[in-house]
């Protein structure tokens, strides 16, 4: 896997207005990126990130017209970070399950797929560069309390594996990132230890510069990654046990 230098690079980050995306944007600027295209559904949400190297762009990753406009604006991109995502709690028998599943697949799978399609030619023209898919440990092993979210991230994991092979022929490196719980809006309701978004962002950039194709950017993720590599079934049992304990505690009023 070819490493990607951060200093002097031209980067694009989707979902840059909060959480991991915002932390990645700040970390890229701190490490000397030449330019960062930061996207959000509402670009005004990026106003606090005052830096002459930052270019705020409107992007809903489910909107094909907005995706094309971003592709045209960021034609000099060298590092694409697909971070925008949607996470909703729920099982498989809830009344809202199908609607939630479709929404999460649109954002978490079809959004990155269209982004890769649009920007792969620009990356090739600019020397190859790199693509980074911000996934989740739940993309490797389904977390039953977020069943359809996990399934959408599993689809992204599969896409990342394919992109790694297919884009390698044009000199593009493809990195998959699999964090555990991170202190963001998405995990607000989880009463478990969470990693700092900035710590995760810096670990992601360290992994990119080291050429690590699978990046586990926090302590939970690193432990999980080692267990998953040794025994995917043990990882399934771990997440099943966590979900069962949560459900049992909720039923008991704990």
Active site residues: 149
d(CA 217, CA 215): 6
């Amino acid at each position: 896997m070819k490493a990607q230098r951060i200093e002097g690079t031209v980067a694009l980050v989707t979902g840059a207005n909060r959480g991991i995306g915002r932390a990645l944007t700040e970390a890229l600027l701190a490490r000397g990126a030449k330019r960062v295209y930061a996207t959000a559904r509402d670009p005004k949400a990026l106003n606090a990130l005052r830096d002459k190297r930052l270019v705020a762009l409107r992007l809903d990753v489910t909107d094909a017209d907005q995706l094309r406009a971003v592709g045209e604006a960021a034609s000099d991109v060298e590092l694409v970070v697909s971070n925008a995502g949607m996470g909703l709690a729920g099982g498989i028998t809830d009344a809202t399950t199908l609607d939630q599943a479709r929404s999460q697949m649109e954002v978490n799978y079809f959004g990155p797929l269209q982004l890769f399609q649009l920007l792969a030619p620009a990356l090739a023209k600019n020397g190859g560069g790199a693509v980074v898919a911000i996934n989740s440990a739940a993309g490797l092993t389904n977390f039953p309390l977020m069943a359809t979210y996990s399934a959408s991230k599993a689809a992204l994991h599969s896409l990342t594996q394919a992109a790694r092979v297919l884009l390698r022929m044009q000199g593009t490196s493809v990195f998959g990132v699999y964090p555990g719980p991170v202190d963001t809006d998405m995990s607000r309701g989880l009463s478990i230890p969470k990693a700092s978004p900035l710590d995760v962002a810096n670990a992601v950039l360290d992994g990119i510069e080291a050429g690590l194709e699978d990046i586990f950017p926090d302590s939970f993720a690193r432990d999980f990654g080692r267990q998953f590599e040794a025994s995917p079934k043990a990882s399934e049992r771990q997440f099943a046990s966590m979900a069962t304990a949560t459900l049992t505690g909720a039923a008991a009023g704990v």
